[in-house]
Structure 1
């Protein structure tokens, strides 16, 4: 048996230049233009289907230290002893860093370790070799207070070497952005931070005191460039605060770490992490400092997590870790896949830890310094994110810096516009959420959590100094509908239902019928289907027997509009409160609406608005 040689293969697959490729694409698209393949992010960043190779770009050393990123495990159980047992199990099974979430901090999500004294902190970290791991503190407004506990604990354990690698996560600007109220006057905040920095450095702590945290902006709906600009402007604001309080510019720079949210969009997440290092290097150069590798933390995005079909959160987190790891994050924290439902148990924590272990040790993702170097898509997106983020950063600086820009509402206005575009994409299912807005499973088995997620407490009324940024997960609008459906089920013993009036042959209506079933299930509406009806009267009689309130006509292409209209009239006569048609509106729309069709459902329709009306109609008078 002979195999073709290199020359033979070249003849079989001759090279095709871009012009020829575009012509083939045009033919495949049936005459539609190449631009129809270009998508955009909610903040308007174009994503093209093909990018040329970037020859000029060489790999860059991204992380502070060579090798794999730190596998950071979240510690958030309220009881210090239980939190300690979980943390030690994580460290014994592959984690080499911890993210300690303190009670009442926003990142604790209603839980968090209860730390009221140095003794509580000692209990939470009992048996943990602090000089062998990396530790990040998520204490919110209590960061400096907890730092004092760490200082006392270090002295008690005689840990005074520079091996203590602790990031204290002090982010007063992030607190201001979330709450609308600063913890104190920012000049005082700068003095306190500078004093704490000196004390901690004298004690041998080698981590970072301040954190320019992108999570408050990401959770409010920020796009990638907006999150970058906010983190960059926050870092510059901390440089100013610390320098004005007596630290040298270089000393102030060394006190600042960064944290970005990592979500499941591979391309822009990877580019975002690469972009931040370039952007901060520009700031350092402008300050007259020689650029140094920054400390860049990543945490999988809370915004992308879902309550329904939470197993899909594992897939989202895996892609987020993949992207942040290849983008150069120094440490990554994976939120357990059940966090939106409540306090994660050991299984959810193990999945979070093993996600990273598999990517580092089995997929070997950390063995290449900068895997995206030279890839046209990632290089181009990195450049575009840098340009957009730098432009917004300059606008923030022009308005007086990050603190002043929050006071006048510049970041809030920019983020609100992007968040609105994202909400529209989610409502129309152009941005599908698997397991929630697309392919929901009404029969899913519940997952175990140690305690259900508490209701979010609204802060007491106060005088706001800036408009606080909201925190909302993308899936929440659909989850609200599912919750209303479950409440109706608890009240009556059955879910709200929709009757699918299938017309024609099964092979003709099945696609539309399945589409309708999945769409209504996103609101918790159970679809009652059939093998198909030949007459409008048959459909109306079956609807009456089903005792539903609403119906959706799913007709095969061969079914005439007159038959659809006749069926709508018959369903209305059978007391259907609302009637839908699974089809695009066409020239017969007016006649069909006159016959009683209330809404048309199809890919791209305003699914959320339609489902809100459907659920209201399905449960009324029950």
Structure 2
């Protein structure tokens, strides 16, 4: 029996036919507005992708392990190191903690030294005393030449095989300038030359430079900005190294990129793939051989989208972020604890963060595969779009003198703030959702004395903050006021519409921490007013259909206008002018700025 190809009975459908069918179904509606999505990165997403969309992507036929490394530098599996970072305040206690973490599955440790500038050799010796430094990757979140010297001395003292020591120093004076306002050394080239000379023979596999791209993401920047500015920063270091006489190929292997994994799942996978191609091409222009044009990436989950309210949702966020980082090809991963953006993590939150990584590796087998996104029409096109947009921004930054000069001119800070302000607006309008904060808030939750850990921007630094802080501040005002306003749902008329609008209104006011009083529905205005009198709610929301508001709203408003704040759920175009004329001024609907509207209600209720 001859073989029959699958779908051979069906005629192929061309893109033109698809488009014709779509335009027919749109019935005259604007194609661009209805079906095209613009991301915060200014990338245009189509409603569907086809094989023809892959035409012209030259790297598609390049296998893993080959230049330009879109599909990672690995060839056997997608293994990644499970890393956990923590603040070091006491060296002896931290040494014991590192030992415990390793026994629980951690393969890489990130030490955040509280006082990195004054660390003594004996302190570092104590810190590393419980670790087998040949088997565990050692990372210092903010390193310098003193720490590197101490590490080399310690390795020699215990007679360790220094060629088996892996990790990173994360020397990043330019990144610290942007995030903390510190002044970089007068001659970065000399500093780099000293570090390189110290490590090249003794610690050949130890990374020296850490490009901290997460600073841009935690300031509200986009994936494209993170990538472009990180590459520009790396080029500043690379130029300084080559000016100091260091071979570009040798120095390239000493650089590690530290990226933040955000919540846009496919965007993050594509970002990692795009990053490797761009870095490989940049290195090639410096004369680096193709086999040495590899990018080493550590990913950590982003702080910007983490929330104080409904905090356990952060576990879900970090899980998907970790997944995208691994699938994108991260060499190591830190899942930040669910409460790390708000306070010092406890043992429970650290354990959950660690176990997410172990689960992804040991149970889900994410380390067994290499670049599973390869060939996906959507992700390949997204990768290409990120490459194009990031390269354009990178070239613009280089044209302005490189990262350092561009930052001093204010160009980078201004660029980040423009995107951050746009994202803030999207959150205020609920175009970008933070579950439990600006949508579907937990009505029974209350946080005592929430301290926001954001750092204000200065003329010289980026602002580190979280997207949900404005809503959290709003809700804190309610909780600290000592009174929790009641919102009474005056449901009447069309069953489907009153239920839908009551649900919308409940979610709306819950974001400010108000108490919601829902009702099944009232047959008459008088019945509803009597029910309200028992509650004395500060806000009444009339929930009905647009067609019924002209009849229902005026008598309700007449009886309650001097006793409470009356709100219409929706914006009934045919009767809104009449309703405004009788004195109704509050309308809540999907197009309003939720944050501004709730802040205005706070003022009206005298909640500061």
Per-residue CA shift, 1:355-391, capped at 9, x if unaligned?
A: 1222223222232222111111111111111111111
SS of match in other structure, 1:389? helix
Shift of the 458–409 alpha-carbon distance from structure 1 to 2, 3 Å rule, reads: closer
Question: Are 2:607 and 1:610 equivalent residues in the alignment?
Answer: no
Q: Which 10-residue stretch deviates more, 151-160 or 298-307?
A: 151-160
Per-residue CA shift, 1:389-439, capped at 9, x if unaligned?
A: 111111111111110000111112222221122111111101111111111
Which of 82, 91, 96 is matched with 1:71 structurally?
82
Question: Are 2:71 and 1:60 equivalent residues in the alignment?
Answer: no
Partner in structure 1 of residue 68 of structure 2: none
Shift of 1:15: 5.3
Partner in structure 2 of residue 110 of structure 1: none
Shift of the 599–83 alpha-carbon distance from structure 1 to 2, 3 Å rule, reads: farther
Per-residue CA shift, 1:326-370, capped at 9, x if unaligned?
A: 111111111011212312222211221221222223222232222
SS of match in other structure, 2:171? coil
Shift of the 86–482 alpha-carbon distance from structure 1 to 2, 3 Å rule, reads: farther
Distance in structure 1 (CA, Å) of the matches to 2:72 and 2:524: 68
Distance in structure 1 (CA, Å) of the matches to 2:402 and 2:281: 17
Distance in structure 2 (CA, Å) of the matches to 1:561 and 1:146: 74
Question: Are 2:475 and 1:475 equivalent residues in the alignment?
Answer: no
Distance in structure 1 (CA, Å) of the matches to 2:529 and 2:210: 63
Distance in structure 2 (CA, Å) of the matches to 1:8 and 1:326: 32
Partner in structure 1 of residue 555 of structure 2: 566
| C-alpha RMSD of the superposition | 2.9
Distance in structure 2 (CA, Å) of the matches to 1:84 and 1:454: 30
Shift of the 90–601 alpha-carbon distance from structure 1 to 2, 3 Å rule, reads: same
Partner in structure 2 of residue 429 of structure 1: 430
Distance in structure 2 (CA, Å) of the matches to 1:132 and 1:440: 45
Partner in structure 2 of residue 363 of structure 1: 364
TM-score normalised over the length of structure 2: 0.90
SS of match in other structure, 1:597? coil
Shift of 1:516: 0.6
Shift of the 320–444 alpha-carbon distance from structure 1 to 2, 3 Å rule, reads: same
Distance in structure 2 (CA, Å) of the matches to 1:37 and 1:104: 52
Contact 1:486/1:524 (8 A) holds in 2: yes
Question: Are 2:36 and 1:38 equivalent residues in the alignment?
Answer: yes
User: Which structure 2 residues correspond to residues 256-335 of structure 1 after superposition, within 5 A?
Assistant: 256-291=255-290, 292=292, 293-335=294-336
Contact 2:72/2:371 (8 A) holds in 1: no
Distance in structure 1 (CA, Å) of the matches to 2:217 and 2:455: 20
Which of 99, 103, 107 is matched with 1:92 structurally?
103
Shift of 1:12: 8.7
Shift of the 312–288 alpha-carbon distance from structure 1 to 2, 3 Å rule, reads: same
SS of match in other structure, 2:185? coil
Per-residue CA shift, 1:180-228, capped at 9, x if unaligned?
A: 342432x2x3312321221123333521111111111111221111111
User: Which structure 2 residues correspond to residues 524-543 of structure 1 after superposition, within 5 A?
Assistant: 524-543=513-532
Distance in structure 2 (CA, Å) of the matches to 1:104 and 1:314: 30
SS of match in other structure, 2:490? strand
Which of 508, 521, 537 is matched with 2:510 structurally?
521
Shift of 1:81: 3.9
Q: Which 10-residue stretch deviates more, 596-605 or 372-381?
A: 596-605
SS of match in other structure, 1:119? helix
Q: Which 10-residue stretch deviates more, 10-19 or 515-524?
A: 10-19
User: Which structure 2 residues correspond to residues 526-605 of structure 1 after superposition, within 5 A?
Assistant: 526-556=515-545, 559-573=548-562, 575-576=563-564, 578-605=565-592
Contact 2:342/2:452 (8 A) holds in 1: no
TM-score normalised over the length of structure 1: 0.88
SS of match in other structure, 1:294? coil
Contact 2:266/2:324 (8 A) holds in 1: yes
Partner in structure 2 of residue 511 of structure 1: 500
SS of match in other structure, 1:260? strand
Shift of 1:287: 1.1
Contact 1:521/1:527 (8 A) holds in 2: yes
Partner in structure 2 of residue 384 of structure 1: 385
Contact 2:221/2:416 (8 A) holds in 1: yes
User: Which structure 2 residues correspond to residues 93-172 of structure 1 after superposition, within 5 A?
Assistant: 93-103=104-114, 116-139=119-142, 143-172=144-173
Shift of 1:125: 3.0
SS of match in other structure, 2:207? coil
Per-residue CA shift, 1:305-325, capped at 9, x if unaligned?
A: 111111111111111111111
Contact 2:88/2:111 (8 A) holds in 1: no
Partner in structure 1 of residue 227 of structure 2: 228
Shift of 1:64: 4.6
Partner in structure 2 of residue 496 of structure 1: 485
Shift of the 286–482 alpha-carbon distance from structure 1 to 2, 3 Å rule, reads: same
Partner in structure 2 of residue 487 of structure 1: 480
Shift of 1:518: 0.9
Distance in structure 2 (CA, Å) of the matches to 1:431 and 1:104: 38
SS of match in other structure, 1:227? helix
Shift of 1:179: 2.9
Instruction: Note the residue ranges of structure 2 that are not aligned, 5 or more in a row.
Output: 66-70
Contact 2:492/2:544 (8 A) holds in 1: yes
User: Which structure 2 residues correspond to residues 331-350 of structure 1 after superposition, within 5 A?
Assistant: 331-350=332-351
SS of match in other structure, 1:548? coil
Distance in structure 2 (CA, Å) of the matches to 1:154 and 1:8: 63
Contact 1:340/1:453 (8 A) holds in 2: no
SS of match in other structure, 2:152? helix
The alignment of Structure 1 onto Structure 2 pairs a total of residues equal to 591
Distance in structure 1 (CA, Å) of the matches to 2:40 and 2:487: 33
